[in-house]
């Protein structure tokens, strides 16, 4: 995700990196994953149709990120 056009979770919420780290430490894995997934959905809905964004490339990154989230959720059970 770092090299993708997608906003990192802390940027999307307007948090400093330290605030995001605190959030991760104070919440369950599922809550953290939900925030990331919501960020992916929000990013797609707000950037769809923008000329400056390669939506095909962004869709690829969104798909990869969602696959990682899915694997993480299955692996934690």
| C-alpha dihedral sign at 13, 31, 22, 9 | negative
In degrees and rounded to multiples of 5, residue 10 shows phi and psi of -70, -30
> Where are the chain's structural domains?
9-75
Residue-wise pLDDT tens digits, 38-60: 888 888 787 766 666 676 777 88
Supply the pLDDT for residue 24. Answer: 94
5 pLDDT more than 80: no
> How much is the average pLDDT of 13-39?
92
User: What share of the chain in percent tops pLDDT 70?
Assistant: 86
Take residue 14 and report the two structure tokens written for it. 């307007």
Q: Under DSSP, is residue 34 helix (H, G, I), strand (E, B) or coil?
A: helix
65 pLDDT more than 70: yes
Supply the pLDDT for residue 48. Answer: 66
pTM of the model: 0.74
């Amino acid at each position: 995700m770092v090299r993708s056009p997608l906003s990192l979770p802390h940027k999307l919420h307007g948090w400093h990196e330290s605030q995001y780290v605190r959030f991760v430490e104070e919440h369950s894995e599922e809550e953290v994953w939900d925030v990331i997934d919501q960020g992916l959905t929000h990013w797609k809905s707000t950037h769809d149709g923008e000329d400056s964004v390669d939506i095909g490339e962004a869709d690829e990154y969104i798909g990869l990120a969602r696959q990682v989230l899915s694997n993480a959720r299955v692996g934690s059970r």
